[in-house]
Structure 1
């Protein structure tokens, strides 16, 4: 019999002082010239009906800073090559507590804007990790109105209020770092 992994969610998740798995994360709001935002659709590995859309990003590896993590995650999840200098912000910060993989977890995230000028590039999944291949389903660009429609039809989008944040950072960011809030799972 094999022993369970000490980090079933991944190496960057550590128990918080309250015992809830915790990690720091970095996210990139990839925005094209028209103001459309690239989102990823994913699902919970233990409940395929629990689906949501979210910004590109993920955990900050040991020794990595938030900008470096955002750059790495953009490359892994989209195939796009950006630099830390391409990132604006952080434009927002979020502490989220949510259900994932049959447990409650907590993540502190910094959000950066990354402008994607010119022709919208092809997005690829060849950099996805094994875990991402299991959890991620598709990429899609959403205009602000399409994002509103997605929410109005009942789809889940994280972070809550992303449609408003998109309008606050495009076409230009005012320099204010917003604090985003989330509902705590029951």
Structure 2
């Protein structure tokens, strides 16, 4: 039986005025052939509120500084299980929606793990995500985006 390390996380659906969502492309260091796209965000510190963690992660990963009040309530929550760098996690994560007119991503705030595991970033339309053969997380991302953007 796999033993999971519990983890809490907050993620951001950063959507521009073209209704494209920002995703990072990364790899699992323990499984370099396992590449995937994912939203900005990450693990929460002990006692850190999800919205506070989301704005912290957003600033670190994209250079975009916003306040907790800019995020509102989570638009999606899930518990997911996954391996990363040889450790299995059971992660409870909340997703927040933040719309921006446009944003030039600044990744200079990446920590060492991010520098070593994230290879690029890209803005994706819902239609591009629905057509791609590439892996992205969460796997229900297009349905969530359609719902929160009023496109379902």
Q: TM-score, normalised by structure 1?
A: 0.76
RMSD: 1.5
- The structure 2 residue matched to 1:143, chosen from 125, 129, 149, is 125
CA shift, 1:19, in A, is 4.2
- Asked whether the 8 Å contact 2:16–2:103 carries over to 1, the reply is no
CA shift, 1:171, in A, is 4.7
Unaligned runs of 5+ in 1: 1-17, 173-186
CA shift, 1:88, in A, is 3.2
- Once residues 27 and 71 of structure 2 are traced to their aligned partners in structure 1, the CA distance between those partners, rounded to angstroms, is 27
- Asked whether the 8 Å contact 1:51–1:156 carries over to 2, the reply is yes
Once the two structures are superposed, the pairs formed by residues 45-64 of structure 1 within 5 Å of their partners are 45-64=29-48
- The structure 2 residue matched to 1:73, chosen from 39, 53, 57, is 57
Equivalence for 2:94: 110
* 1:48 partner SS: strand
* 2:46 partner SS: coil
Runs of 4+ in 1 over 3 A off after TM superposition: none
CA shift, 1:80, in A, is 0.9
Query: Matched residue pairs, number?
Result: 150
* 2:144 partner SS: helix
Q: Which has the higher contact order (CA 8 A, sep 6+)?
A: 2
- Once residues 98 and 63 of structure 1 are traced to their aligned partners in structure 2, the CA distance between those partners, rounded to angstroms, is 23
Equivalence for 2:143: 164
* 1:127 matched to 2:109: yes
Q: TM-score, normalised by structure 2?
A: 0.93
Kindly name which structure, 1 or 2, has the bigger radius of gyration based on alpha carbons. 1
Unaligned runs of 5+ in 2: none
* 1:85 partner SS: helix
